[in-house]
Structure 1
Amino acid sequence: MRDTSVPAPALARRRFLQALAAAGAAAALPLDAWAQACGTPWREWRTFVDRHIEPDGRVVDHLNTDLRSTSESQSYGLFFALVDNDPVLFDRILAWTRRHLCRGRADLNLPAWLWGRAADGQFRVLDPNTASDGELWIAYALLEAGRLWKRPGLVEAGRQTLALMRTAEIVELPGFGPMLLPGNRGFVQADRWTLNPSYLPLFVLRRFAAVDARGPWARLAERSVAMTRASAPVGFAPDWIAWNGKAFVVDAGKGALGSYDAIRCYLWAGMTDPADPLRRSLLDGLSGPLSMLRAQTGFAEKIDTRLGVGTGAPSPGFAAALLPYLSALGQPALAKAQLARIPTGTLNYYDRALVLFGKGWMDRRYRFSADGRLLPAWSSPCSARP
């Protein structure tokens, strides 16, 4: 039943855009764009749900023979369910994550990163190590779902996840400052720390800093940008990088490769609000994709981050991930060309996730404010629809 005290839709949408402007978001968006985002079904998300989310809330990656679920896949499911304003699905995904990845005690245990079919045919945790990118997005989804849906218990759960991460995965790199390890085991060897630049979306760290002011998040936000810039000498982010106590160096195991992890660095940079004081520095440090797209017909699947040389045809998800990046750099023609590379047919889990992030952002289904708050299209203008 419609609340007759709500203003007319056009006025509500206008007020929403004004609120976005006050929050430091990219508010100069056409009113009809927001109307389209909140007034039509999210086709790509519904396809993802149908293909990858089981009735009990498990998010499945069918590409691997173990039919795996990861803390990352669960975290992305939570985030997109929130963007789609679906608390029922959100709760199912959260319940499965807590039960199977956190041993039923998410207040005590960070999620194991990998669950799937073992060699004996049984489904269980395959690797108990953690993955901080999944935890980061889980914490963010909990905090923002609690705020937007007015559920304090979810906010508290998000705070608990942050506290566990602070204990298990935040380290002080000598000579550099605080940093988030990719997991709680296996990433520190003697005087070398292995890191993943794509695990550190700036806007998420901004939100953590606002919620947990005594934590390391504000400093980590600044250091994450410094790390990204230092690890991309010719403008291309690597999948992995190492700190040797004095400088960032090529990771001995992974090499100077930028590919399926690193593509998210450009995605997160492009989605960062223009009012963030570090956004310009971050984009300037990741100039490689723009230079490559200007110089040739397309991007590359694998890039030597020291030489800036690419090889292989990129997956369709790469095109979607570059949309916010190219938009942030004022390159509508290049963005249009990448949009044309996104197929409507069969995609794997990761490509679909990148499409939901990149194209969903371009379709204005959500934005992030300067302090990291999620601004879904449904949060105000959709509430005024009949």
Structure 2
Amino acid sequence: MRLRINRKTGLALARGLAAAACVSAAASGAPAAQTAPGGAGCGDWSAYRSFIARFMQADGRVIDFSTPTRQTTSEAQSYAMFFALVANDRASFDKLLGWTRSNLAANQFDAQKMRLPAWQWGKRPDGSFGVLDPNSASDSDLWIAYDLLEAGRLWHDPAYTQLGRSLAARIAADEVVTLPGLGPMLLPGSQGFRDGSVTRLNPSYLPLPLLRGLAHEAPDGPWGKLADTAYQFVRTVSPQGFAPDWAAWQNGRFVVDPKNGDVGSYDAIRVYLWAGLTAPADPLAKSWLGALGGMRAKVAQNGFPPEKVSSTTGASSGEGPLSYWGALAPYFKALGDERGLGLARSRLAALETEVPGRDPVYYDRVLGLFGTGFIDGRYRFDEAGRLVPAWRNACD
């Protein structure tokens, strides 16, 4: 069921994928990425090629090798689809989409019949492979819908657009609820997050650029209003400038999550990333960044991000891993914090070096691609949430 790609085979595969991207771009009418001396984000994206070679099977399945189940998540598929779009690699995009459709959505993933993908797939106790948890993950669903909508626009293929709109409508129907006194809010999944008067929520599931993009492409959905309620959510649950991993809504107000408490760690680090990726012209960009100032102050004080922090008191512990620096690089850039950005760049340089006997860490590589891709100019989002990849402008 799984093929671990060695370094020699991986390099060959990467070269093939790079060539396939050029062929795919030509077939779609999109300009191929070019190497140009004037663009830092142009030319070969070696970190992306390395990620594909290390983590994606030939059939389009992304594997987290650090897990006992060799799991694949809808998150991994959605992020890889985004990176393929940024890299103008339509061949890999289609493989990722095809595997997701077949294995996470049981082939019920078309404009007429849309099923939310299962969030977790991998090795079962009996040794077989398949869905481990059929529940959906709404952040991944948002990313897949966004990826499809942007693929349709950038590659001029209405089939992607139709699929993206169908998925967006399914998300709105199954994963968006109206909280009395607040408005629309995204549940973390279609099942299991509402218990009596308590609704559990995840701040990292609400990237503002994606909400803007969906509002632009699917204006009849809840996305514009959801952007406003998402900001109220993040601002309210981050009183010390630190986002928690989880929070809850109860009796008309946001409260500390009854299950995980007020800790902010591996989920919450993405809240700073999404804020940093938001277009400066977005009307919520400045205030959203301002609500998350605690992390900037903590890094300035200690020289590193804390692994865990209390969102209610600001007390922190530990040192965040490499993935945190990937998430924080766009945040520092958006804030104009040159020292913080310099620290992030120096730490992220480790992603370019392979350590013998040590496998690359999935989360480090994923957040590293988001962070370095952005600060190196390979992509950005405009105020309408549209993706602006470097290849779109032919890198000249």
Same fold (TM over 0.5): yes
Q: CA deviation at 1:273?
A: 0.5
How far apart, CA to CA, are the structure 2 residues paired with 1:206 and 1:156?
A: 18
Which residue is equivalent to 2:54? 51
Tell me which of the two structures has the higher relative contact order, counting C-alpha pairs closer than 8 angstroms and 6 or more residues apart: 1
How far apart, CA to CA, are the structure 1 residues paired with 2:297 and 2:318?
A: 17
How far apart, CA to CA, are the structure 1 residues paired with 2:201 and 2:217?
A: 25
Which residue is equivalent to 2:140? 134
Is 2:314 the partner of 1:301? Answer: no
Is 2:103 the partner of 1:100? Answer: yes
Which residue is equivalent to 1:36? 40
How far apart, CA to CA, are the structure 2 residues paired with 1:32 and 1:358?
A: 22
Which residue is equivalent to 2:158? 152
Deviation string for 1:312-338 (max 9, x for gaps)?
A: 121101011101101111111221112
| Sequence identity (%) | 47
How far apart, CA to CA, are the structure 2 residues paired with 1:183 and 1:221?
A: 18
Q: CA deviation at 1:281?
A: 1.0
Counterpart of 2:381 (choices 365, 368, 373) is: 368
Which residue is equivalent to 1:226? 232
* TM-score between the two structures when normalised by the length of structure 2: 0.87
Write the mapping of 1:278-289 to structure 2, written as runs, cut at 5 A: 278-289=284-295
Counterpart of 1:209 (choices 204, 211, 215) is: 215
Deviation string for 1:151-170 (max 9, x for gaps)?
A: 10000000010011011011
Q: Describe the SS at the equivalent of 2:372.
A: helix
Which residue is equivalent to 1:292? 298
Is 2:341 the partner of 1:357? Answer: no
Which residue is equivalent to 2:149? 143
* Structure 1 segments (4+ residues) deviating >6 Å: none
Aligned length: 355
Q: Describe the SS at the equivalent of 2:41.
A: helix
Counterpart of 1:189 (choices 191, 195, 213) is: 195
Q: CA deviation at 1:105?
A: 1.0
Q: CA deviation at 1:381?
A: 2.4
Task: State the one-letter code of the partner of 1:381.
Answer: A
How far apart, CA to CA, are the structure 2 residues paired with 1:326 and 1:379?
A: 25
The 10-residue stretch of structure 1 (158-167 or 336-345) with the greater mean CA deviation from structure 2: 336-345
How far apart, CA to CA, are the structure 2 residues paired with 1:181 and 1:66?
A: 26
Task: State the one-letter code of the partner of 2:108.
Answer: R
Task: State the one-letter code of the partner of 1:165.
Answer: I
User: What is the CA RMSD across the aligned residues, in angstroms?
Assistant: 1.7
Task: State the one-letter code of the partner of 2:375.
Answer: M
Is 2:92 the partner of 1:79? Answer: no
Q: Describe the SS at the equivalent of 1:36.
A: coil
Task: State the one-letter code of the partner of 1:291.
Answer: A
Is 2:180 the partner of 1:166? Answer: no
Task: State the one-letter code of the partner of 1:359.
Answer: T
For the 8 Å contact 1:203–1:368, the answer to whether it is kept is yes
For the 8 Å contact 1:175–1:245, the answer to whether it is kept is no
Deviation string for 1:232-257 (max 9, x for gaps)?
A: 01000000000003211111111111
Task: State the one-letter code of the partner of 1:46.
Answer: R
Is 2:276 the partner of 1:273? Answer: no
Which residue is equivalent to 1:62? 65
Counterpart of 1:315 (choices 311, 314, 321) is: 321
How far apart, CA to CA, are the structure 1 residues paired with 2:63 and 2:263?
A: 27
How far apart, CA to CA, are the structure 1 residues paired with 2:228 and 2:121?
A: 33
Q: CA deviation at 1:32?
A: 5.2
Deviation string for 1:170-203 (max 9, x for gaps)?
A: 1001111100100000000111110000000101
Write the mapping of 1:324-363 to structure 2, written as runs, cut at 5 A: 324-342=330-348, 343-344=350-351, 345=354, 346-363=359-376
Q: CA deviation at 1:70?
A: 0.6
How far apart, CA to CA, are the structure 2 residues paired with 1:86 and 1:226?
A: 37
Deviation string for 1:137-159 (max 9, x for gaps)?
A: 00010000110000100000000
How far apart, CA to CA, are the structure 2 residues paired with 1:282 and 1:36?
A: 28
How far apart, CA to CA, are the structure 2 residues paired with 1:49 and 1:198?
A: 24
* TM-score between the two structures when normalised by the length of structure 1: 0.89
Q: Describe the SS at the equivalent of 1:37.
A: coil
Which residue is equivalent to 2:269? 263
Which residue is equivalent to 2:91? 88
For the 8 Å contact 1:269–1:282, the answer to whether it is kept is yes
Which residue is equivalent to 2:115? 109
Which residue is equivalent to 1:25? none
Which residue is equivalent to 1:6? none
How far apart, CA to CA, are the structure 2 residues paired with 1:304 and 1:152?
A: 45
Q: Describe the SS at the equivalent of 2:57.
A: coil
For the 8 Å contact 1:146–1:155, the answer to whether it is kept is yes
Unaligned runs of 5+ in 1: 4-11, 14-30
How far apart, CA to CA, are the structure 2 residues paired with 1:94 and 1:319?
A: 29
Task: State the one-letter code of the partner of 2:325.
Answer: A
Q: Describe the SS at the equivalent of 2:190.
A: coil
Task: State the one-letter code of the partner of 2:63.
Answer: V
How far apart, CA to CA, are the structure 1 residues paired with 2:203 and 2:321?
A: 20
* Alpha-carbon spacing, 1:32–1:306, altered in 2? closer, same or farther (3 Å): farther
Unaligned runs of 5+ in 2: 1-22, 27-33
